[in-house]
Structure 1
Amino acid sequence: MNEQIKKLAFLGLFMGLLVIATSVLRFPVPTFNLYFNLGESVIYLVALIYGGPTGALIGGVGSALSDLMAGYPVWAPITFVIKGLEGFIVGAVARKANPYIAVVMGAILMMTGYAAAAGILYGIGAVPVELAGDFIQVSAGAVIALFLHSRLKNLSFNDEDKF
């Protein structure tokens, strides 16, 4: 089987998994129009295996689609940018540094981006709630992704990540 076709099939599966982990396995936060989900684990895993450009594509597009499907359209463009950058950073940094450092850097970007967006959309009172939820989300995502990465890292089809 052609390696590009295999990669496309895996990425389609990961995109579907991301949408499920974000829209179906989500937990609403009372008071604000926010929710906690398990999508970070998929973004981190894809970025660690396939690199920055693919992490950005899956993270940005899949997460924004999840916001639209879950009834959070105002968040979709914000999510597209933040999750796209997060996936890119994790994948790019992981190529040169320890995967743990890459995930921490992506997590910091994600938490900062969403805290700023929540503050703008809902006021300063939403910022601590957003940060607390995001910290739990990125921590759970990091544990899951780093655990799975050590077992699935051989899914990478080339070092260049030209997709």
Structure 2
Amino acid sequence: MRITTKKLVLCALMTAIVFLITFTPFLQIPSPMTQGYYNIGDAAIMIAAILLGRKVGFIAGGIGSLLADVVTGYYIYAPATLIVKGIEGYIIGAIANKKNGVPSRLRQAVAVTAGGLEMVLGYFIYQATVIRMINPTLGMASIIADIPGNLIQGAISAVLALVFLTVLYRTNTVKNLLR
């Protein structure tokens, strides 16, 4: 497989955008339940995956989000974030698969829904296993109470991504960018 300079630059750009949107302090809401935080970085992952495909979705989602966790001091979540957000981007890109041009709105909606649900499930599994081993005082009730916040994070990110993509697809920006 040949990686073009343009694809490499777009992947790096989307990784940086995922990092910036996830990292920006005023876009973060701390989770008192599990010592994590809610953010809208998933919107950037969703956009990257739909526009540039599953591989870029995986790299931008995993690495961009991991870097945000490390820089903001959420080291305990960094390994899970790399995997969970990477898989999220991969799933979205695979479902949206735009080999025949722009994916339909329905395909985009299904893709971001599946990716958002994977994110919620991935963090639930990580918190219920690894975080509880590290912090035995963290109860399952706290982990379960974190699910609605993650669902809201995924839903808000999905809406933002779909609105942003609608605007992008109506302009020549995407056509010129992806040529």
Which amino acid in structure 1 is aligned with residue 120 of structure 2? Answer: M
In the TM superposition, 1:85-100 aligns within 5 A as 85-95=87-97, 98-100=107-109
CA distance in 2, matches of 1:88, 1:130: 24
CA contact 2:49–2:58 (8 Å) conserved in 1: yes
Partner of 2:126: 117
Q: How does 1:1-163 map to 2 (within 5 A)?
A: 4-24=4-24, 25-95=27-97, 98-120=107-129, 121=131, 122-153=138-169, 154=174, 157=178
CA distance in 1, matches of 2:33, 2:121: 20
Gaps of 5+ in 1: 159-163
CA distance in 2 between counterparts of 1:92 and 1:32 reads: 30
Task: Give 2:160's aligned amino acid.
Answer: I
Q: SS in structure 1 opposite 2:178?
A: coil
Question: Is the contact between residue 114 and residue 130 of structure 1 (CA under 8 Å) also seen in structure 2?
Answer: no
2: CA distance, partners of 1:93 / 1:57: 16
Q: TM-score, normalised by structure 2?
A: 0.79
8 A contact 1:48–1:94 mirrored in 2: yes
TM-score of the two chains, using structure 1 as the length reference: 0.86
C-alpha distance in structure 1 between counterparts of 2:34 and 2:117, whole Å: 21
Q: Which has the larger radius of gyration?
A: 2
> 2:140 aligns to what SS in structure 1?
coil
Amino acid at match of 1:137: Q
Aligned residues: 156
Offset of 1:12 from its aligned partner?
A: 3.2
Instruction: Name the % identity.
Output: 32
Partners in 1 of 2:34 and 2:47 — Cα distance?
Answer: 29
How far apart are residue 6 of structure 1 and its match? Answer: 4.2
Q: Cα RMSD between the aligned structures?
A: 2.1
What's the CA shift string for 1:67-122, capped at 9, x where partnerless?
11110111111110110000000000011771100111111111111111122213
Q: Which amino acid aligns with 2:91?
A: I
Separation in 2, partners of 1:126, 1:69: 25
